[in-house]
Amino acid sequence: MDKLRVLVTGAKGQLGVDLVQQFTNSGYEVFGYSRQELDITNFQQVKETLQMVSPNVVIHSAAHTKVDLAESEPDEAFRVNALGTRNIAVASEEIGAKLVYISTDYVFNGQVSQPYDEFMPTNPLGVYGRSKLAGEQFVQALHSRFFIVRTSWVYGLHGANFVKTMLKLAEDKSELNVVHDQIGSPTFTIDLACFIGELMLSDLYGVYHASNKGTCSWFEFAKAIFEEAHLTHMKVNPVTTAEFPRPAPRPAYSVMDHMAIRLNGLNDLPFWRDSLKRFIQQYQKSTL
């Protein structure tokens, strides 16, 4: 049998780098495209690239992810997240490739008190969430063999994220204020990449919620980061979202129930605290 051919968009992004690495290690033929190498908003270019590579699976992880910036440039957010995703969906369908679209907990408004399962209605608060949901809608309308994977609070070794920011701030600070009234599930990119690797080999199409198990607030997450990194000098103070105004509204409660993972008998992701420990060990090694 020929090697599985996998095309990854957003290959230089936080998740993209780990996807390319993992699929390469699995012995697949991997084609990773960064924003500079593939402009997903250019339909002709998307079509030509996919026809040339002829992948079995397309993992679409490229996105406009700057949540606050999206509020001031909605056209750009929708151009990338909605129309860019439409282009990938149409071109993937034309060549008969499976499609995995990476989406977000921001498709929900966070105004509930129990975890969101995949069958609950979406209702995004801001431009970023609305544009990612529009991408989901294009995938569902234009592709016949898709996986939509919603994830949350992502961090990894590549790119900027909350964990790395906290560790950086600890270099010259001893006290930080972190919001305690936003609850979610941190997700380690390597665990997410493993899950996607298992999912894409199946024919269990549909929408999936994939985050590390368990929940915490950003305040609890920050405290855990400093504990795992043995930064005992750090004092973390809980503050409210109202004390930290940002251009884009955040869902207050964006915990996702992994119902589709359970129903389909797939392997769930590890507990968030265990994954954080693994990440910090890897990060500390990489910065030696």
Tell whether 135 is covered by a domain: yes
Catalytic entry in 28, 128, 155, 253: 128
Annotated active-site residue 128? The verdict is yes
> Maximum Cα–Cα distance for the chain, whole Å?
58
For the segment 138-164, the average pLDDT, to the nearest whole number, is 97
Q: Is the separation of the CB atoms in 99 and 85 below 8 Å? A: no
pLDDT in the model for residue 287: 82
Tell whether 172 is covered by a domain: no
In sequence order, the β-bridge partners of residue 256 are 116
Mean pLDDT score of the chain = 96
Please return the burial class of 34, using the count of CB atoms within 10 Å of its CB with bins 0-12, 13-18 and 19+: middle
pLDDT above 80: residue 260: yes
Write the pLDDT tens digit of every residue in 231-244. Answer: 999 999 999 999 98
Q: What percent of the chain has pLDDT over 70?
A: 100
For the segment 241-261, the average pLDDT, to the nearest whole number, is 93
Give the pTM. Answer: 0.97
Distance CA 11, CA 1 (A): 26
What is the distance, to the nearest Å, from the Cα of residue 24 to the centroid of all Cα atoms in its chain?
20
CATH number of the CATH domain containing 266: 3.40.50.720
Which DSSP helix (H) or strand (E) runs through 77?
helix 74-78
pLDDT in the model for residue 245: 86
Distance CA 30, CA 24 (A): 6
Q: Whole domain around residue 64: which residue ranges?
A: 5-161+185-214+255-271
For strands 29-33 and 183-184, give the pairing.
Answer: unpaired
pLDDT above 60: residue 1: no
pLDDT in the model for residue 2: 75
163: left (phi over 0), alpha (psi -120 to 50) or beta: alpha
Tell whether 79 is covered by a domain: yes
Distance CA 3, CA 240 (A): 51
Tell whether 170 is covered by a domain: no
Domain count for the chain, please give it.
1
For the segment 206-215, the average pLDDT, to the nearest whole number, is 98
Distance CA 134, CA 122 (A): 11
Tell whether 224 is covered by a domain: no
Tell whether 51 is covered by a domain: yes
Tell whether 282 is covered by a domain: no
Tell whether 189 is covered by a domain: yes
With bands split at pLDDT 50, 70 and 90, how would you rate the model's confidence at 83?
very high
Q: Name the token pair of 272.
A: 């968030």
pLDDT in the model for residue 288: 75
Distance CA 92, CA 79 (A): 18
